[in-house]
Structure formats: C-alpha cells, structure tokens
C-alpha cells in the first residue's frame, strides 16, 4: 500500500505543503510552524482491529525496527522512510507503572505513570530524535549534502541528538552556554563524541547562533520547531492506550515547556480517533513550573492573549522556557481535549517528587511538576476519585541526582524538604545501632499509619 505523509503549514488559510525529505522548518509562504500530515484515507483501508493486532505483535519483538515503540507504528509515523535508514535504539515501549500506593494516597485506584525516562538517553526526547535522525540518514542516502546536525540545548535534546547521530555515524554539533550547564548535562554529548561548542553566552544566545548557522550552512537544525520530532513523540499516547488494553484514560497530566510534547500527545490521539481505534478523548492537563508559566497565564485569561514571560530559575530546568515555540499548537490541543493548565511552585514540585519517590518511584523534577499539579487538582476535586489517570514522566531521576541529594540534605534555599530522608550517622556500636533502628522503625510505622488515615480521607 502507498502510505504517504507530508509537511503542511498549521495555518488553515495557508496549508502549504512540503516533501518530508525537504530541509524546511517553517512555512516559506507565511512563516508558521509545519506539521506532518498523513494520508488517512489510505490508513483507513486497514481496520482499527487490524492495526491493534499489528502493533501488539510488533512492539518489543525482535523484528527490527518494529520492536521499537515508535517504529511498531511506522505507517503512522513516517511511512516513506526506507527501513534500512531507520536509526533506532529501541526507544519507547517504556513501562506504564501502576502507582498503586501513591495513587491510594490521592484517592485514585487507577493512577499510572508512563516512564518515558526509562529510555536510551534517559528522556522522552529519544522518541522524537529517532525520527529526525532517521530522516537525515535517508536524505544523506539520497545524496543531499548535510554534513552535520546541530542543536542548542543544555539537557535532554543534546543528549538524544548526540546518541542517535553517533549510532548512525552522522556528525552532531551541540551548542552550550559556557559554565551554565551541569556535568551531567555535559557528559552525555561529550561521551557520544558530539562536537561540543561551549560559548560565552546564555542559552538564548546559543539558540540565535544555531539558527543563523543552520540557515547559512547545510547544517540541519534539530531544535523543537522541527516537526519531525513530534511524529515520534505522538506515539506516547498511542502506547499508553495500547498498554491499557486499548482503553483511553480519563485524564493525562504532562509537564510542558516549549509545548511540543503536549501537541504531540494530542496529535496521536486524534489520529487514533480518526482511524476508529479509540472512541473517546482523554482530558489533557499541562503542568508548568510557576517560575516559567506563560501557558498557565494565557489559559487563565481564556487564551485571549499571550505574553511571553522572563522564565526564572527552576529545578525543572528542561521547562524553564518563557516564550514557547509550540504555543499555538498547544492551545489547539488544549481546546480539543477539554484541557486544563496547572502550575507548581518550587516547593510543591520538589515535595511531590520526593513524596512519590517514597512509594518506589525515582522522579525527575519535571515529573514532580506534573505530580504536584495532579495533587492540586485532586484537592480541588477537578480530578475525581475513581478516574483513570496517567502522568507522563519525562526524564529519569538519575539525571537529577545532585538536586535530589540537595533536597534530602535540606540544602535547597526556600524549600523545607518535608519528605527529606537523611542517613543516620553513628559509631559502629551494636547497642547504638539497635537503639537507632528501634526509633527509626517506630517512626516509619507512625508515618505509615498517618498515610493510611490520609488515604482514607482522600477517597
Ligand atoms: C523537553 C522536556 C520537557 C518539555 O517538553 P516540551 O515539548 O518542551 O514541552 C519536559 N521534561 C523533560 C525532562 C524534557 O526533556
Ligand atoms: Zn503557511
């Protein structure tokens, strides 16, 4: 069958189309963002039941590249790509964790956390980068002169770009602001052999330079206005439904910064709906850090106007963005999915993350923002007990070990660290060890009792 897809301008009155193997990031006629559109009539020739069976038989299988959570849906992601040009590291197919104990604390029997950070480079950025780098490989194979791929990012995007390019043998360029990124953020692109430029500027300065560079040279731009990444990221919602025996959750909570990921989530659901694979839509909640909350502010005024904000420092560094590139796409998604935007203070996000960790998770601060938003929505009764809720966890907690340690050491300014857990320092003396353990075990038992009382009140 001749499945096909193309880039299309998101402005309905324009609708200009471009080939998916063309180097184009924004509409050349009107300057708006592009999105990948699929020939749905062709996809509809296969029944919904057949698609489900096909995805189920492929995911996690050894039939390369279809075992990947992205490429098991290749016909709906980028059908024209030749299989030999797929650059996959078995992304997606991540655990949908039943947060049984934490859910009970919130009066939710059906709380699930989609662990997108359990991935090759430790964040959901792998879902999009596999598509982008595969397209670059295909374009190079077709003779296009693309000597390298570049991005400006301090964190997860550069890690994903560096890894996928290294796997494909394509040079990657990462622009970082000198002395403004942590060792953890630097070490992934360094290890993967990317060309790492450390510039005397801030993140916005790196962004301007990479955009100018990619306009003038043949270097391909991998930043988040590139809509190929959305095609990979849209599989997260498809995968959540697949892992829920094809049932659609009532509510999905997702942290948002540049807002590409929330629009991707919605896009995956709309495609499934159009193909008859799902019959209802989840409500989508975007969670923002109060220190970088332009979408929250716009939502509060009914999207009548949008003002970029000066983002303040937040522990949730990947969403410290004041002027999100994908604002328009995100608004469209929120309007289509009965959306809500909620925000979380630094203390709320750190406490929510630590509190959930105590039930066995190991959350990144962005997941903390989403969990804090959920807690607030439960307290206000907006999310009701009995709802089937999924929280999207965007990165692995180990990427943020420093700040998690600082929380437990009560070293984060302005945060009381209510859920801190500190090592008990003692001489190596059996009597003292036993006394300390007796006290600690009693305290744990008291805490468990308080928890079950609170859970009773919550439901
Ligand atoms: C990129 C990123 C986000 C934000 O995604 P957007 O598409 O920019 O809204 C959230 N969490 C983590 C860990 C990320 O890397
Ligand atoms: Zn246009």
Is 455's pLDDT higher than 80? Answer: no
Does ligand 1 lie within 6 Å of residue 364's CB atom? yes
Is 153's pLDDT higher than 90? Answer: no
- Work out the percent of the chain whose per-residue pLDDT is above 90: 89
Contacts of 85 (CB under 8 A, 6+ apart): 134, 137, 138, 141
- Ligand at shortest distance from the CA of 11: 2
CA of 369 to the centre of ligand 1 (A): 11
Instruction: Name beta bridge partners: 177.
Output: 199
Is 403's pLDDT higher than 80? Answer: yes
Mean pLDDT for the stretch of residues 144-167: 94
Spatial strand order of the sheet with 251-255 comes to: 96-98, 110-115, 388-393, 251-255, 283-289, 340-344
Does ligand 1 lie within 6 Å of residue 260's CB atom? yes
| Confidence at residue 285, expressed as pLDDT on a 0 to 100 scale | 98
Confidence tier at 248 by pLDDT (50, 70, 90): very high
| Confidence at residue 90, expressed as pLDDT on a 0 to 100 scale | 96
pTM for the full predicted model: 0.96
CA distance 443 to 449: 10
- How far from chain centre, in Å, is Cα 340? 17
Q: Report which secondary-structure segment, H or E, holds 52.
A: helix 48-58
Confidence tier at 203 by pLDDT (50, 70, 90): confident
- Work out the percent of the chain whose per-residue pLDDT is above 70: 100
pLDDT tens-digit readout, 39-85: 999 999 999 999 999 999 999 999 999 999 999 999 999 999 999 99
Residue 415 contacts residue 372 (beta carbons within 8 Å): no
Q: Which fold has domain 96-121+230-408?
A: Rossmann fold (3.40.50)
pLDDT tens-digit readout, 23-41: 999 999 999 999 999 999 9
CB atoms within 10 A of CB 273: 15
What are the residue boundaries of the structural domains of the chain, listed by start? 96-121+230-408, 427-459
pLDDT tens-digit readout, 255-290: 999 999 999 999 999 999 999 999 999 999 999 999
Is 154's pLDDT higher than 90? Answer: no
| Confidence at residue 217, expressed as pLDDT on a 0 to 100 scale | 87
| Confidence at residue 30, expressed as pLDDT on a 0 to 100 scale | 96
Instruction: Specify the pairing of strand 17-18 against strand 34-38.
Output: unpaired
Residues with CB under 5 A from ligand 2 (ion): 9, 11, 14, 16, 27, 29-30, 32
| Confidence at residue 225, expressed as pLDDT on a 0 to 100 scale | 84
Residue 206 CA: distances (Å) to CA of 101, 116, 171 = 43, 27, 18
Does ligand 1 lie within 6 Å of residue 259's CB atom? yes
Is 458's pLDDT higher than 90? Answer: no
Q: Mapping DSSP to helix (H, G, I), strand (E, B) and coil, where does residue 395 land?
A: strand
Q: Among 217, 239, 220, which residue's Cα sits nearest to residue 68?
A: 239
Q: Among 396, 397, 401, which residue's Cα sits nearest to residue 124?
A: 396
- How far from chain centre, in Å, is Cα 451? 30
Confidence tier at 294 by pLDDT (50, 70, 90): very high
Is 457's pLDDT higher than 80? Answer: no
Does ligand 1 lie within 6 Å of residue 294's CB atom? no
Residue 364 CA: distances (Å) to CA of 87, 354, 410 = 27, 10, 17
CA distance 208 to 210: 6
């Amino acid at each position: 069958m001749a499945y096909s897809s193309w880039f299309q301008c998101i402005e309905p009155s324009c609708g200009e189309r471009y080939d998916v193997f063309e180097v184009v990031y924004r509409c050349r006629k009107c300057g708006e963002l592009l999105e990948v559109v699929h020939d749905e009539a062709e996809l509809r020739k296969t029944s919904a039941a057949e698609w489900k069976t096909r995805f189920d038989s492929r995911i996690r299988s050894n039939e390369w590249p279809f075992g990947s959570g992205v490429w098991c849906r290749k016909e709906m992601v980028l059908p024209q790509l030749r299989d030999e040009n797929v650059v996959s590291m078995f992304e997606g197919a991540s655990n949908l964790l039943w947060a049984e104990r934490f859910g009970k604390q919130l009066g939710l029997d059906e709380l699930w956390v989609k662990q997108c950070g359990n991935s090759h480079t430790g964040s959901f950025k792998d879902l999009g980068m596999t598509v982008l780098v595969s397209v670059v490989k295909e374009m190079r194979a077709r003779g296009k002169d693309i000597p390298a791929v570049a991005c400006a990012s301090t964190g997860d995007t550069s890690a994903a770009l560096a890894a996928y390019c290294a796997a494909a043998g394509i040079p990657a360029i990462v622009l970082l602001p000198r002395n403004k990124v942590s060792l953890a953020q630097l070490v992934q692109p360094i290890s993967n052999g990317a060309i790492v430029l450390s510039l005397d500027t801030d993140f916005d300065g790196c962004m301007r330079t990479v955009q100018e560079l990619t306009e003038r040279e043949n270097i391909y731009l991998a930043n988040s206005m590139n809509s190929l990444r959305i095609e990979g990221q849209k599989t997260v919602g498809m995968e959540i439904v697949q892992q829920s025996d094809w049932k659609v959750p009532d509510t999905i909570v997702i942290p948002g910064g540049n807002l590409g990921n929330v629009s991707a989530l919605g896009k995956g659901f709309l495609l499934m709906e159009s193909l008859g694979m799902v019959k209802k839509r989840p409500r989508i909640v975007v969670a923002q850090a109060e220190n970088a909350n332009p979408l929250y502010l716009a939502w509060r005024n009914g999207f009548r106007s949008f003002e970029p904000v000066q983002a303040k420092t937040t522990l949730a560094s990947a969403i410290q963005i004041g002027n999100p590139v994908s604002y328009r796409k995100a608004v469209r998604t929120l309007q289509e999915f009965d959306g809500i935007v909620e925000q979380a203070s630094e203390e709320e996000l750190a406490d929510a993350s630590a509190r959930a960790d105590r039930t066995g998770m190991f959350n990144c601060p962005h997941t903390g923002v989403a969990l804090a938003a959920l807690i607030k929505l439960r307290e206000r009764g907006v999310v009701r007990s009995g709802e089937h809720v999924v929280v999207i966890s965007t990165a692995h907690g180990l990427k943020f070990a420093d700040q998690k340690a600082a929380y437990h050491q009560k070293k984060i300014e302005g945060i009381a660290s209510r859920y801190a857990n500190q090592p008990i320092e003692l001489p190596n003396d059996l009597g003292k060890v036993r006394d300390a353990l007796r006290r600690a075990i009693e305290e744990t038992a008291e805490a468990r009792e308080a928890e079950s009382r609170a859970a009773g009140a919550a439901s």
